[in-house]
Chains A and B, each alone.
Chain A
């Protein structure tokens, strides 16, 4: 069994603040981390490896610094790591990103692809399903459990109301929820070895895809404007009787489209 795990390096969005004067993102000092859902995906792959035996390859697309999360993946137990880095990949929206990853996957040998459900910097949850479509394989998203009997994958999918049990045979792609797979720590030996192992660095020429489908050029969506959310001003304080108070609250709830 060969498993390909897609991971992404993201800024830790819980540490991001907006500069109150310039209203722009303060990026300095914000740590970069392995996206939590992707780490859950890697954990699932490693548990599968522990139980059934598997070769786990991690792949990421990003700047050269993304090497760090691949080393982390080595230290957790991944066998092989690939870094897709090239100016031609830059500026990709979800479709162009999924094209690049699928293009890389076409040149690799795998049975199962695992991605995180979504990344905390974009929260789109689109790259996994789009990648599955390009590769013409089924996808199951919001995965909270996986079993395998040597032939059939049995998958637990989380939904709003509870969960579903789904089954498939053959190749497939799963998008994973982090809370379902609490990730292991890196082992000390693993950390030491992680820096002796080779991260394979691939440019756009290694990807099985036309360049017009990559990066900014291959992105149907364009960001035309970005802006900080307006900081709120404290509202008015009303000293009123109970009936007037109710009226004020009702009109506020209507203004906010709650009722």
Chain B
């Protein structure tokens, strides 16, 4: 395989019901860094029905070119239809790199496309970079349940493919004045292979929340005090897109339900950010949350053991800090 024929960084611009998913914009942000390092361009591939209007948004977020495949066959995501379209785009435009969001769609589509192209695919990458000296594409991902990190390359096959979980990469700030090229691409579909039919899609209201799945946890302990105290935490959680959890003391006191309890007798959590608010940090509590990526602790007692595991420790009264923080975050999120 002549690798030099393969150029440019492609992003699968996942949309659902016509809405471009955040992960696609994040990947375009990362693709920009990679493309700059390689001296190449960013291509977004937008598949769907009646979705062409979203192409402009992809340009604003950093795509140089958007390949639009607008077709009845692509109205809803079905594996084979999308695979045929992505495969033909890859064969036609010969990307050096192809990125997919690690969603239920991306993780279904990317391996199918990779196998059809006969190339490698690296799942759930947390870091993607171009080596300075050799200009090689390096993909880093966790292995063994996150106990180990591995850096992986795909030296002799193109395109080099990876998936990345939502929330891992950074979007660019959108620029409405950015100009990009829009290409309409018409694949040749082989409908004889469309053997799976989508009968219906059912959206479910999320009932009880699994705090171990949450990316951000706003957790309260004795320092929060009462049931009403948790309202402040709920407001903060709502603004930042997190869930509320608590220490055992607050569950025993009847202020929080047991399914929100973090710790040895509750749940083990590993969110990206764990706010420990008014939690002293008993060893049983620490056992359930010390693996969190970032721990922000607020406590009046500067000798509280929670500070030993905190990335950021604030000795202060949470009842004043949290409402202020919530107001400030509202402004930050509106930017």
Contact = CB atoms under 8 A, between A and B. Distances in A.
Contacts of B142: 123, 229
Contacts of B328: 246, 250
A228 B143 CA distance: 10
Interface majority SS (helix, strand, loop, mixed), chain A: mixed
Nearest to A258: B273
A141 B102 CA distance: 13
Interface string B96-133: 00000001100110111011101111111000000000
B115 A224 contact: no
A107 interface: no
B312 interface: yes
A124 B152 CA distance: 13
B149 A228 contact: yes
B223 interface: no
A122 B273 contact: no
Interface stretch (A49-57, A64-72, A128-136, A202-210): A128-136
Contact of A162 (B108, B203, B313): B203
Given A237-B302, A245-B316, A142 B324 contact: no
Contacts of A18: 147-148
B115 A235 contact: no
B160 to A, nearest CB: 9
Q: Choose among A11, A121, A219, A229 the residue with the greatest number of B CB atoms under 10 Å from its CB.
A: A229
B106 to A, nearest CB: 10
Contact of B104 (A132, A158, A235): A158
Interface stretch (A38-46, A73-81, A91-99, A180-188): A91-99
A192 interface: no
A98 B157 CA distance: 17
A242 B240 contact: no
Contact of B311 (A164, A235, A243, A246): A235
B170 interface: yes
Contact of A95 (B115, B202, B272): B115
B90 to A, nearest CB: 14
Interface string A18-38: 100000010000000000000
Q: Choose among B83, B112, B157 the residue with the greatest number of A CB atoms under 10 Å from its CB.
A: B112
Given A94-B121, A138-B195, A162-B202, A223 B104 contact: no
A165 B78 CA distance: 11
B313 A235 contact: yes
B276 to A, nearest CB: 12
Contacts of B144: 11, 13, 16, 25, 121
Contacts of A125: 107, 111, 123
B99 to A, nearest CB: 15
A232 B313 CA distance: 14
A167 B310 contact: no
A197 B146 CA distance: 37
Contacts of B195: 138, 168-170, 172
B149 A248 contact: no
Contacts of A138: 79-80, 193, 195-196
B321 interface: yes
Interface string B215-230: 0100000000000000
A108 interface: no
10 nearest interchain CB pairs?
A: A13-B145, A220-B120, A133-B115, A221-B120, A162-B204, A237-B313, A124-B123, A129-B111, A220-B157, A130-B115
6 contacts: A124-B111, A141-B104, A161-B204, A165-B199, A221-B121, A256-B273
Interface of B: 16, 78-80, 83, 103-104, 107-108, 110-112, 114-116, 118-124, 138, 142-157, 170, 193, 195-204, 216, 240, 272-273, 293-294, 296, 298, 302, 307-317, 320-321, 324-325, 328-329, 332-333
